[in-house]
Amino acid sequence: MKLQKIIPLCFFFLFGIASTLACSCAYPLSPEKEFERADYIFEGTVLSINSPATFVQSTADPAEVTFSVHTGWKGNLSEKMIIQTARSDVSCGYPFVVDSTYIVYAFGDHKQTYLCSRTTIIAAADADLHFLGEGNITLSKSSLMLPKKLINFNIFIAVVLGSFFVIILSLFRKHPQ
């Protein structure tokens, strides 16, 4: 009798929880409210999407999306911008497509956007474009800047790998075969 109660409970934990962990968005904010909240707002075309390969991967790992910016409304924008989003829409990452044009609302120092923001493909952005009007930000021609955290991580990996190779080489020199 206990087995009949345990089996449905196991199914709930195995299959029920997985569906509750997916991205779930409340009703989207108005363009006015999202304008107040966002740190960067621009229209741009996706040039590339880079999802760094790691040994252990998660749908929440960041993907870097490089844009050619056409028009800007808010933030310190340049002609090319890198923004971050989660690797998968399951983790609220925005499903960008290369060569497609979007209105992007990004947040914070790492210029992050997500599925639940008003970021959208340009063809579906009528309400946003009506509110935003003509872009009024001059785009700088500065080079693409990687987030400082990513640069520090790459330096750390380079130092660790370099140290590893120095140790291996010193072991081979001390103990020739």
Model pLDDT, residue 147: 52
Q: What is the average per-residue pLDDT within 67-87? A: 92
Model pLDDT, residue 138: 73
Lowest-pLDDT range of 62-66, 106-110, 156-160: 156-160
Model pLDDT, residue 100: 96
Q: Which CATH class is domain 21-145?
A: mainly beta
More confident residue, 58 or 92: 92
Tell me the torsion sign for CA atoms 29, 33, 35, 36.
negative
pLDDT band with cut points at 50, 70 and 90 for residue 11: very low
Model pLDDT, residue 20: 44
pLDDT band with cut points at 50, 70 and 90 for residue 4: low
Pairing state between β 101-106 and 62-74? unpaired
Q: 130: which residues sit within 8 A by CB, 6+ positions away?
A: 31
Helix (H, G, I), strand (E, B) or coil at 161: helix
For the cut 50, the answer to whether the pLDDT of residue 13 exceeds it is no
Model pLDDT, residue 35: 95
- Residue 122 near residue 70 (C-beta atoms within 8 A): no
- The DSSP-derived string for 51-102 is ----SS--TTSEEEEEEEEEEEEESS-BSEEEEEEESSGGGT-----TT-EE
Structure tokens at 153: 């991580």
Structure tokens at 152: 């520090």
What residue spans define the domains of the chain?
A: 21-145
pLDDT tens string 104-152: 999 998 899 988 899 999 999 999 999 999 888 777 775 444 455 555 5
Structure tokens at 58: 């998660």
Using CA atoms of 61, 52, 100, 119 in order, give the dihedral in degrees to the nearest 10.
Answer: 20
Mark 51-67 as b/e (b = at least 16 C-beta within 10 Å). beeeeeeeeebbbbbbb
